Structure 1
Amino acid sequence: MTTAVARPPGWHPALVALHWLTVALIAVQYGLSRLMGDESRDLLGRFVLYQWHKSIGLTVALFVVMRLSLRLVIPDPEPLPASIWLRRAAQAVHAALYLCLLALPVTGLLMVSAAPIQIPTLYFGWFSVPHPIGPDKATYELMRGLHGLAFDSLVALGLVHLGAALFHQLVWRDGLLRRMWFRRVGSGAL
């Protein structure tokens, strides 16, 4: 006879922290990408912005891999009551978000690796990240396009995700947002 594992009321604090850190880093990435495109900046300033952008992108990839790994060993909270189509839609949006979050750093690294002008990727200035391929204009252009597509998709999916969370909070009032926030030990409250 097997016994059911008790599910927590909300997500594990490590998963919550990685979720919100990823959201914050994506916002920083967007800001950096806007600044990187400003060609009136001096070369050194742009170099620093690009290094920060690449380092943060690799960090986001690490956080996503950590989240996915933790999801394999930490039980999910009890699902909220919802129709099967709504659950499947939520699962599809989450899977697509994870895919975009992984595609962005992969296409970004391949893009800089294939760039006609080779500039090292220095992870926060601590060490150099090896480029897996060499210069290739066609690959560079392809990865550049896919990088932009992955970002646009991430924004669209993020807006759907945010809209659904707000709908849960403001219309259904089912406590969904409490599940993705930090709880005091032994407390069911925010």
Structure 2
Amino acid sequence: ESFGDIDPKTDTRADGLEKGQKWTGWHALEKSLWQDKKIGAEQKTLADQLVSDLKDWQKRVGKAEITPTSMANGAKELLDEVAKNKVSGEEDRYSHTDLSDFKANVDGAQKAYELLKPVASEKDQALTTELDKQFAALNTELDKYRSDKTSDGFVSYDKVTKAQTKELSDAVNALAEPLSKLAAAVVK
């Protein structure tokens, strides 16, 4: 949120481009490498631009104003992104590495929660107990898809069945509900 100008350059998929926007970033490279099977000057240019954009983000990240409320809301937004884009398979539609992105979002949400947990547990012990339980359940569910045969440590998402996708979605939803209460718990 604090760097809204960088996200469109690094994380937009082709169908999310604004009129006249040049397609750059992760997903442009993902399509080139996994679908088009191209590795050349164009991909090097894309990779160089991505590195430049991420270095720009890195310089600015320490200057962002982060409050307990924004951190709690950010954790919820990370989980919402899982529910919206990652469980559906839309995130990494060419490489099918969605589960590693899924896990990264869960890890980010969990880290934000762990930083806020001391304050939240003083104000709402039942909430933190439920969050601990639901994070553990979701991580256990994700661990079912671990694989040492892939570079990202997870099975290809196109191998996950509809029933398995539903189980993942249910675990995300079970965590999303109590996580939505975290911001209120830290500002009580």
TM-score by length of 1: 0.41
TM-score by length of 2: 0.41
